């Protein structure tokens, strides 16, 4: 019998990085936090997460909306680096892996963010976690 656990990344394995990033971006660029959230969690953010628009197009739209000149790379790094592993979830995942469960994640995180988090924390490789896709 196959034992599989499927989990999300943001707000489950990692902190709610979008909420943290909204604060960081608003503070750094002295812009309204709600305006930041409207882009990160609104239509533009949804289109970016689902691959309907590229990272470059997303950040160009964000900068125009926020009326800032910051670099897309800096903004992306602010967002990606706002995610931190949740110690309790990391421990739980370790126990589940040790117990023989197959681990999958299903998330609307962007490919760039997952690549950043994997490079920084090696969570996919460490636990042999696979991405569940609709393909």
- Percent above pLDDT 70 for the chain: 96
- Which domains does the chain carry? 4-14+84-131 (3.40.50.1000), 17-80 (1.10.150)
19 has a pLDDT exceeding 50:
yes
Using N-to-C axis directions, what is the helix angle for 72-80 and 55-66, rounded to 10°?
Answer: 100
CB burial class (10 A; 0-12, 13-18, 19+) of residue 133?
exposed
Q: Is the confidence at residue 134, as pLDDT, over 70? A: no
Q: Which of 79, 103, 77 is nearest to 89 (CA)?
A: 103
Per-residue pLDDT at 42: 96
- pLDDT of residue 20 exceeding 90: yes
Among the listed ranges 15-19, 38-42, 126-130, which one has the minimum average pLDDT value? 126-130
User: What per-residue confidence (pLDDT) applies to 108?
Assistant: 87
Q: What pLDDT does 1 receive? A: 65
pLDDT given for residue 133 in this prediction: 58
Angle between helices 33-41 and 17-29 (to 10 degrees): 140
* Per-residue pLDDT, 132: 63
pLDDT for 135 beyond 70: no
The model's confidence at residue 47, banded by pLDDT at 50, 70 and 90, is very high
| Tokens coding 9 | 């990344």
Q: What pLDDT, in 10s, does the model give residues 51-91?
A: 999 999 999 999 999 999 989 999 999 999 999 999 999 99
């Amino acid at each position: 019998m196959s034992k599989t656990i499927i989990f999300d990344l943001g707000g489950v394995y990692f902190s709610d990085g979008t909420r943290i990033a909204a604060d960081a971006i608003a503070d750094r660029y002295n812009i309204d936090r709600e305006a930041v959230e409207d882009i990160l969690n609104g239509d533009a953010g949804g289109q970016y997460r689902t691959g309907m628009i590229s990272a470059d197009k997303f950040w160009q739209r964000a900068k125009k909306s926020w009326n800032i000149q910051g670099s897309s790379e800096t903004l992306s790094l602010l967002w990606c680096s706002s995610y931190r592993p949740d110690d309790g979830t990391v421990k739980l995942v370790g126990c589940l892996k040790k117990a023989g469960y197959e681990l999958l994640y299903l998330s609307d995180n962007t490919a760039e963010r997952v690549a950043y988090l994997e490079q920084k924390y090696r969570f996919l490789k460490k636990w042999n976690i696979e991405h569940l896709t609709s393909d």
